[in-house]
C-alpha cells in the first residue's frame, strides 16, 4: 500500500497536480485570516489556579498593565519643561482605555512642620516661575513614597505611570496603546534628554515587530542556505529545487490551516518556515538519494524504474520517519502553556503535511524532470570524499576500538549529564529579547534610576472588615516589606503601611524615621488625609484586604521563582492563620509557568522516548531493535542538555523543544540505517560487512541532511528572539551530535544484533503454500514462518548453477522456494547418478548443516532457483537474537533428520529383508 502511495505521483500525475493546486488554493484563502498573538496570556498555563486570584486582585487593586514614561533631563524642573509634561499628562489621560495617569500633576503629599499640616498636590499645574518649579521638586523629593516610583533620588528623572485595561479583549490593544503613546511622546522627545515609554504595550509591540522581521528574514534565508548546501552535496539542481517546492507548499498549507482554524501566530511561529524547509528537506534528500541509487541499480536507469526502486526501498522508513518527526513535535501538544501548545499543533500539522506533499510531489517531479543519470554517486570528489573521510575515521574506530569508543561515549555522556544537572528554567518574556536591544537597555535604565518595570502584588486577605485599619495587621505589611528588603532583590515595595508611616512622620514632625501609628483610631484618622484613589492600589474598600505592590527587574524565572517561593513561606508565616496570603501578577504567572515548562518537557521527553521505543521495537520485531534505535536519539540529547548546562543556556519555551524535536529528526537517520542494514542482511551472513555497506550507503544522506539541518537551524541564530536563536544553535549542535551517534555508535551496536523488520515480514512475497508444506516450518505460525525466512539468506541461482558440490565441506542447508534442482552423485568411476529431483519446498544439505562433513552429492539448478540458505554459524549467532524461531527451526531440522534416519532404517530393513 505504501509503495502504491509513493507511486501515485508517478501514475496519476494530473489528479495529483489538481489535488495539490486545489488544496494549496484553499489554504491560501485562509492566510488573510491569520492572527498574531504575542500577549503574555499564551505564556501562562491554562490551568494555573493563580489566574482567578490574579483576576480578582487586578479587579480590586487595579491593572498591572502599567507603562512607565521615563523622563530624564538635567533641567527637568523648569516651567517650560513642566508645561510640556503637563500637556503630555493631559493628552495621555484622553487616550481610550487609559484608566489612569499618575505623575507629579496628580500626586498628593502631606507636609507637616511646626504643628502645621499641609495636604497638597505636588504640582496642580505647571509652574509660572523657576521658584515654583523648585518648590514642587522639594515637595516631591520629600515624600519617600514617591522616590523610586515617580522620581529618582536626585530628581533628574521622573516617571508618569499609565495604567491601561483591555476591557474588550482587543488583540490589537497593546499596539494601539503603544502607538498612541508613542505619537504623543515622540512630539516632545527632542525637548528632553530622554523621554521613553516602557511597559507591556511596548514589549508586546516589540515582540510582534520582531516576529514579522523574523518571518521576512528566516524563511527565505533558510530556503537559500538549504538550496546551496543541497546543491553542493548532491550536485543536482533538481535535488535542491525539490525541497524548496515542497517546503513552499507546506508553508502555505500550514499557515492557511492556522488561519482557518483560528490559531494565532506567536513568537515560536517565527521559526516554523525555517523548520519546515530544513526538516522537510531531509525526506526529500533521502528520496533523491534512493532515486539516484535506483538509477544505478536498475537496468537501463529509467526514471520510472528508479522511482519504483525509491518507493520500494525507502517507502516505509520514510513514512515512519515522518511519523516520528511529527510525534516529536506533537509531544508538546499537551503542554499547558498555550504558546508551546499552539506551536506544537502548527508544527505537527506542518510535518505531516510536508510528508504528504513530499510523497506526492517528489515522484511527480522526478517523473517529469528527473535526471537520467546519477550526478554524484561513484564520484570520489566533493561531498562523497567528505563523507568517505568521516566514515574512514569512524570505521577505523569501529573495527579496532569498538569497546573503547563505547566507553568513551559513555564517559562523555556522563560528563554532559553532570552539566545538564545545572540546567535551570526561565520563561520571562523580556529574556526572549536580546540583551543588547534598545528595549532591554531602556528597561535597565528605568531600573537603575527608578525601579524595575515588572510588578507583582502581595495580597493579604483577612476576610474581616476593617482588619487593615488595625495596627497589628498593618505591622504585618511592614514586616513583609522588611523581609523583602533583607532579600535585597526587589527594587521597591509599597503598601498601606508606607502611607501611614509617612503620615505619622509628617504629623509628628520630630520623627526621624518612619513609624506606624499605634491605634486603630489614629490609623483611621490619618487615612482621612488620603484620598480613596491614593489608596486604591493598596487596600480594599472595606479594609479587609491589603496589597503590597512590588517592582523589580529580575529577568530569570529560576531566580525569581526561588525568591518568590521563599517569600511565600514567609508571608504565610507572618500573615498567620485565618489570613490568606497570595503573590500574584501576570508577569509572575508567566515566570512560574517555567516550572510547568520543566515538568511538561520531562513528560514530553519520556512519552516520546517510550513511544519511539515501542514503535521501533514493533518495527524491528524486537525490543533490542527498539533499544538500539534509542541510542542515536539519547546520545545527542544528553550532549545537548550538557552543553546547555555548561554554557548556562536556560531551558525556555524555545530550548525546551529542542530535545523532542531533535529526537524526532535524529531517529530518521537511524530508521534508514537499520532498514538498509536489514535489507543487506537478507543477502549476506557477513553482518559486519552489511553494516559497513549500509553505513556507506546511508552516510551521505545522513551527513547531508544533518549538515543541512545544522545550517538550517543555524540560520535561526539570526532571529530577533533569544529563545529562537538558542533553539537554533542547540538544534544545529544536536544535529551534528546525531552524525556521531548515527554513524559511529549505532553501527557498533548494529553489528551485535540482527533485526527483522515488521514491514519486511508483512511485505514478503513468497508462495505461502511452499512454506506451509515445508517440514522445516511445521508447527510454526505464519508470522514465525515469515520471520524465519527473513533470518535466512536469500539465494538466487541460474539454471546449471551448482548449489552444493560433492566432496566439498559446507554447513549450509537449503529450502527451495521456486524452481527445480537435481541431486547427482558421482561415483569413483566417473559416472554420475541422478538421485532425485528437488521441487519447491524441498530441503537439502541438512546433514552438512548438523555435522561438518563432506557433501555426498551435487545439487544442480534445473531452472532459475530461488532458495533460502540456512548457514549453521549464522543460525548459531541468530539463536541469541531470535531464540524462539531458531529453536523451532532446529527442532524441525532434527525432526527432518529423524525422518530421514527412519527412512534409511526402514530402507536398510527392506534391503536386509530382500
Positions that interact with another protein (CB under 8 A)? 60, 86-87, 90-91, 93-94, 100, 106, 108, 112, 115-121, 124-126, 464-467, 469-471, 507, 517-533, 536, 541-542
- Name the residue nearer to another protein (CB basis): 455 or 503: 503
Least separation in angstroms between residue 532's CB and another protein is: 5
Find all residues with CB under 8 Å of 4, minimum gap 6, and list them: none
- Name the residue nearer to another protein (CB basis): 460 or 704: 460
Find all residues with CB under 8 Å of 585, minimum gap 6, and list them: 54, 64, 454, 455, 456, 457
Least separation in angstroms between residue 105's CB and another protein is: 9
Q: Edge to edge, what strands does the sheet with 157-164 contain?
A: 98-102, 157-164, 66-72, 194-198
- Name the residue nearer to another protein (CB basis): 474 or 755: 474
Would you call 207 exposed, middle or buried from its count of C-beta atoms within 10 A (0-12, 13-18, 19+)? buried
Query: How many residues make up the chain in this entry?
Result: 914
Least separation in angstroms between residue 541's CB and another protein is: 4
Least separation in angstroms between residue 455's CB and another protein is: 19
Would you call 506 exposed, middle or buried from its count of C-beta atoms within 10 A (0-12, 13-18, 19+)? buried
Least separation in angstroms between residue 451's CB and another protein is: 24
What is the rounded distance in angstroms from the CA atom of residue 68 to the CA atom of residue 194?
13
Label each residue of 417-446 as H, E or C. Answer: HHHHCCCCECCCHHHHCCCCCHHHHHHHHH
Least separation in angstroms between residue 88's CB and another protein is: 11
Least separation in angstroms between residue 106's CB and another protein is: 8
The SS3 call for residue 832 is strand
- Name the residue nearer to another protein (CB basis): 57 or 240: 57
DSSP letter at 378 equals T
Cα 32 to Cα 28, 39, 264, 858: the distances in Å are 8, 20, 12, 77
- Name the residue nearer to another protein (CB basis): 539 or 816: 539
What is the rounded distance in angstroms from the CA atom of residue 108 to the CA atom of residue 326?
60
- Name the residue nearer to another protein (CB basis): 183 or 782: 183
Cα 623 to Cα 108, 119, 746, 882: the distances in Å are 75, 81, 15, 11
What is the rounded distance in angstroms from the CA atom of residue 182 to the CA atom of residue 199?
12
- Name the residue nearer to another protein (CB basis): 526 or 641: 526
Find all residues with CB under 8 Å of 435, minimum gap 6, and list them: 722
- In DSSP terms, 160 is beta-bridged to 69
Which phi and psi angles does 263 have, rounded to 5°? -90, 125
- Name the residue nearer to another protein (CB basis): 445 or 464: 464
DSSP state string for 164-203? E--TT--TTHHHHHHHHHHHHHHHHGGGSSEEEEESHHHH
Least separation in angstroms between residue 119's CB and another protein is: 5
- Name the residue nearer to another protein (CB basis): 4 or 94: 94
Least separation in angstroms between residue 662's CB and another protein is: 51
Cell 514632625 sits at which residue? Answer: 509
- Name the residue nearer to another protein (CB basis): 111 or 877: 111
Helical spans, DSSP H, in 532-622: 532-535, 557-575, 586-619
Least separation in angstroms between residue 355's CB and another protein is: 55
Contact 629, 753 (CB under 8 A): no
Least separation in angstroms between residue 715's CB and another protein is: 51
Which phi and psi angles does 317 have, rounded to 5°? -55, -35
Least separation in angstroms between residue 221's CB and another protein is: 50
Least separation in angstroms between residue 556's CB and another protein is: 36
How many CA within 13 A on the CB side of residue 812?
Answer: 18
- In DSSP terms, 809 is beta-bridged to 854
What is the rounded distance in angstroms from the CA atom of residue 151 to the CA atom of residue 104?
9
- Name the residue nearer to another protein (CB basis): 39 or 112: 112
What is the rounded distance in angstroms from the CA atom of residue 653 to the CA atom of residue 601?
9
Which phi and psi angles does 695 have, rounded to 5°? -65, -40
Which phi and psi angles does 44 have, rounded to 5°? -105, 130
Contact 657, 272 (CB under 8 A): no
Cell numbers at 258, concatenated: 492556522
- Name the residue nearer to another protein (CB basis): 547 or 746: 547
- Name the residue nearer to another protein (CB basis): 576 or 883: 576
Least separation in angstroms between residue 538's CB and another protein is: 13
- Name the residue nearer to another protein (CB basis): 476 or 624: 476
Amino acid at each position: 500500500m505504501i509503495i502504491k502511495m509513493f507511486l501515485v505521483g508517478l501514475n496519476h500525475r494530473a489528479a495529483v497536480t489538481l489535488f495539490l493546486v486545489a488544496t494549496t488554493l484553499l489554504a491560501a484563502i485562509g492566510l488573510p485570516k491569520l492572527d498574531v498573538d504575542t500577549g503574555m496570556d499564551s505564556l501562562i498555563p491554562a490551568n494555573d489556579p493563580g489566574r482567578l486570584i490574579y483576576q480578582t486582585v487586578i479587579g480590586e487593586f487595579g491593572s498591572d498593565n502599567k507603562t512607565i514614561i521615563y523622563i530624564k533631563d538635567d533641567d527637568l524642573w523648569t516651567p517650560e519643561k513642566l508645561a510640556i509634561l503637563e500637556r503630555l499628562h493631559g493628552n495621555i489621560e484622553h487616550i481610550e482605555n487609559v484608566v489612569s495617569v499618575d505623575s507629579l500633576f496628580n500626586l498628593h503629599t502631606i507636609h507637616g512642620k511646626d504643628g502645621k499640616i499641609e495636604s497638597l498636590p505636588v504640582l496642580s499645574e505647571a509652574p509660572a516661575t523657576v521658584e515654583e518649579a523648585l518648590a514642587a521638586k522639594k515637595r516631591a523629593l520629600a515624600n519617600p513614597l514617591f522616590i523610586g516610583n515617580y522620581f529618582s533620588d536626585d530628581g533628574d528623572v521622573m516617571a508618569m505611570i499609565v495604567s491601561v485595561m483591555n476591557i474588550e479583549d482587543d488583540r490589537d490593544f497593546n499596539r494601539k496603546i503603544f502607538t498612541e503613546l508613542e505619537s504623543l511622546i515622540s512630539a516632545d522627545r527632542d525637548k528632553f534628554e530622554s523621554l521613553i515609554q516602557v511597559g507591556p504595550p511596548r514589549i508586546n509591540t516589540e515582540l510582534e515587530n520582531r516576529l514579522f522581521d523574523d518571518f521576512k528574514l528566516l524563511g527565505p534565508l533558510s530556503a537559500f542556505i538549504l538550496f546551496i548546501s543541497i546543491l553542493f552535496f548532491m550536485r543536482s539542481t533538481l535535488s535542491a529545487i525539490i525541497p524548496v517546492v515542497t517546503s513552499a507548499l507546506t508553508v502555505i498549507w500550514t499557515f492557511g490551516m492556522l488561519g482557518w482554524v483560528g490559531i494565532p501566530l506567536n513568537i515560536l511561529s517565527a521559526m516554523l518556515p525555517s523548520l519546515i524547509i530544513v526538516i522537510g528537506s531531509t525526506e526529500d534528500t533521502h528520496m533523491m538519494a534512493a532515486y539516484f541509487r535506483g538509477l544505478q541499480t536498475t537496468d537501463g536507469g529509467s526514471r520510472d524504474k528508479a522511482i519504483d526502486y525509491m518507493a520500494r526501498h525507502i517507502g516505509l522508513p520514510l513514512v515512519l520517519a515522518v511519523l516520528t518527526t511529527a510525534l516529536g513535535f506533537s509531544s508538546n501538544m499537551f503542554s499547558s502553556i498555550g504558546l508551546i501548545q499552539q506551536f506544537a499543533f502548527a508544527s505537527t500539522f506542518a510535518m505531516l503535511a510536508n510528508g504528504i506533499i513530499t510523497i506526492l510531489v517528489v515522484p511527480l517531479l522526478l517523473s517529469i524532470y528527473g535526471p537520467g543519470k546519477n550526478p554524484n554517486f561513484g564520484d570520489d570528489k566533493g561531498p562523497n570524499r567528505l563523507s568517505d573521510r568521516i566514515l574512514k575515521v569512524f570505521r577505523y574506530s569501529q573495527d579496532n576500538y569498538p569497546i573503547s569508543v563505547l566507553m568513551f561515549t559513555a564517559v562523555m555522556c556522563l560528563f554532559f549529564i553532570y552539566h545538564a544537572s545545572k540546567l535551570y528554567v526561565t520563561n520571562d518574556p523580556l529574556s526572549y529579547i536580546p540583551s543588547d536591544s534598545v528595549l532591554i537597555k531602556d528597561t535597565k535604565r528605568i531600573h537603575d534610576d527608578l525601579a524595575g518595570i515588572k510588578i507583582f502584588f502581595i495580597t493579604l486577605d483577612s476576610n474581616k472588615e476593617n482588619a487593615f485599619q488595625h495596627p497589628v495587621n498593618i505591622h504585618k505589611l511592614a514586616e513583609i516589606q522588611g523581609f523583602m528588603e533583607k532579600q535585597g532583590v526587589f527594587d521597591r515595595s509599597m503598601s498601606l503601611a508606607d502611607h501611614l508611616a509617612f503620615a505619622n512622620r509628617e504629623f509628628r514632625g520630630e520623627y526621624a524615621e518612619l513609624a506606624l501609628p499605634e491605634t486603630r483610631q489614629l490609623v483611621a484618622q490619618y487615612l482621612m488625609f488620603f484620598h480613596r484613589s491614593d489608596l486604591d492600589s493598596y487596600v480594599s474598600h472595606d479594609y479587609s484586604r491589603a496589597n503590597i505592590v512590588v517592582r523589580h527587574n529580575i529577568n530569570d524565572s529560576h531566580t525569581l521563582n526561588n525568591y518568590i517561593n521563599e517569600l511565600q513561606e514567609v508571608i504565610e508565616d507572618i500573615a498567620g492563620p485565618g489570613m490568606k496570603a497570595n503573590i500574584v501578577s501576570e508577569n509572575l504567572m508567566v515566570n512560574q509557568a517555567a516550572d510547568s515548562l520543566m515538568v511538561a518537557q520531562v513528560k514530553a521527553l519520556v512519552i516520546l522516548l517510550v513511544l519511539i521505543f515501542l514503535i521501533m521495537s514493533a518495527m524491528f520485531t524486537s525490543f533490542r531493535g527498539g533499544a538500539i534505535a534509542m541510542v542515536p536519539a539519547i546520545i545527542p540529547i544528553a550532549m545537548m542538555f550538557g552543553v546547555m548546562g555548561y554554557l548556562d543556556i536556560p531551558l525556555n519555551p524555545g530550548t525546551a523543544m529542542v530535545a523532542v524535536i531533535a529526537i524526532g529528526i535524529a531517529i530518521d537517520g537511524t530508521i534508514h540505517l537499520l532498514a538498509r542494514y536489514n535489507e543487506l542482511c537478507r543477502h549476506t551472513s557477513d553482518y559486519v560487512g552489511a553494516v559497513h555497506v549500509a553505513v556507506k550507503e546511508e552516510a551521505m544522506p545522513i551527513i547531508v541532511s544533518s549538515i543541512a539541518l545544522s545550517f538550517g537551524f543555524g540560520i535561526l541564530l539570526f532571529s530577533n528572539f533569544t529563545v529562537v536563536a538558542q533553539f537554533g544553535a542547540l538544534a544545529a549542535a544536536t544535529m551534528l551530535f546525531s552524525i556521531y551517534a548515527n554513524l559511529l555508535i549505532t553501527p557498533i551496536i548494529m553489528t551485535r544484533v540482527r533485526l527483522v523488520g515488521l514491514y519486511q515480514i508483512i511485505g514478503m512475497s513468497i508462495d505461502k503454500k511452499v512454506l506451509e508444506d515445508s517440514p522445516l516450518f511445521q508447527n510454526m505460525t505464519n508470522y514465525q514462518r515469515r520471520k524465519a525466512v527473513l533470518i535466512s539468506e536469500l539465494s538466487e541461482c541460474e539454471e546449471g548453477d551448482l548449489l552444493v558440490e560433492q566432496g566439498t565441506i559446507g554447513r549450509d542447508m537449503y529450502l527451495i522456494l521456486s524452481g527445480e534442482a537435481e541431486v547427482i552423485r558421482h561415483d569413483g568411476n566417473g559416472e554420475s547418478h541422478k538421485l532425485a529431483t528437488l521441487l519447491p519446498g524441498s530441503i537439502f544439505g541438512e546433514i552438512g548443516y548438523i555435522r561438518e562433513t563432506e557433501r555426498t552429492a551435487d545439487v544442480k539448478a534445473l531452472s532459475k532457483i530461488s532458495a533460502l540458505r540456512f548457514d549453521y554459524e549464522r543460525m548459531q549467532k541468530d539463536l541469541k537474537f531470535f531464540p524462539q524461531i531458531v529453536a523451532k527451526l532446529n527442532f524441525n531440522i532434527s525432526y527432518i533428520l529423524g525422518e530421514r534416519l527412519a527412512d534409511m532404517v526402514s530402507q536398510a530393513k527392506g534391503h536386509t529383508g530382500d
